[in-house]
Chain A
Amino acid sequence: DQQVKQNSPSLSVQEGRISILNCDYTNSMFDYFLWYKKYPAEGPTFLISISSIKDKNEDGRFTVFLNKSAKHLSLHIVPSQPGDSAVYFCAARYNAGNMLTFGGGTRLMVKP
């Protein structure tokens, strides 16, 4: 039973446009949500996080939105750049616990 789901395995966007990556979760006890970016043959790199008590967090070109009633979060990248092409993982922490639960990832391709 996947508690964190990324329903789009891939997304293609033109350079300069907005990329929107989506994530759904089922467990209302998740208290922190994170986005990681992963290039081939490298470990995931932490991008941005949001506490469950907030609905938006922004860091430069990256903004994460959290809709608790819909159990949905999204990552917006504006403007998208070719270097953003990677696999993006959504992750959630359960109630101040010790581990993260990851979604299956979305491959983003930003075309020049």
Chain B
Amino acid sequence: GAGVSQSPSNKVTEKGKDVELRCDPISGHTALYWYRQSLGQGLEFLIYFQGNSAPDKSGLPSDRFSAERTGGSVSTLTIQRTQQEDSAVYLCASSLFGQTYEQYFGPGTRLTVT
């Protein structure tokens, strides 16, 4: 079975541009999470989706960040007006409902803002 996939694997963008990062969770996983890992840091929670419930956006660092999940499957993380401090690896994870303690991660998207 396929794992979590993310695209693109690498993205270089100019400061001020918008970017979209995509995540395809494991089939059957209703929970989806976005994290980011800045250089030398641990993973930082961004947002959580569960089924059709309202997402938990408590980790989003600013209103430039938004995410949506269409049809309960694929998710897109959008960063508007990118800043250099947004440079990081953005990781998506999915899990079965209620199994927050067993999340499966994708390979990540490395975002570089120049």
Contact = CB atoms under 8 A, between A and B. Distances in A.
Contacts, number: 64
B101 A93 contact: yes
Interface string B47-88: 010100000101100000000000000000000000000000
B100 A44 contact: no
B2 to A, nearest CB: 13
A32 interface: yes
Contacts of A32: 100-101
Interface in A80-99: 89, 91, 93, 96-99
Interface stretch (A62-70, A71-79, A102-110): A102-110
A36 B100 CA distance: 14
A43 B106 contact: yes
Size bin of chain A's contact surface = 20 to 34
B101 A43 contact: no
Contacts of A102: 35, 42-44
Given A4-B42, A44-B91, A89-B42, A100 B100 contact: yes
A28 B31 CA distance: 25
Contacts of A45: 105
Interface of A: 4, 6, 32, 34, 36, 41-46, 49, 89, 91, 93, 96-105
Top-5 shortest CB links A-B:
A43-B105, A102-B42, A99-B45, A32-B101, A102-B43
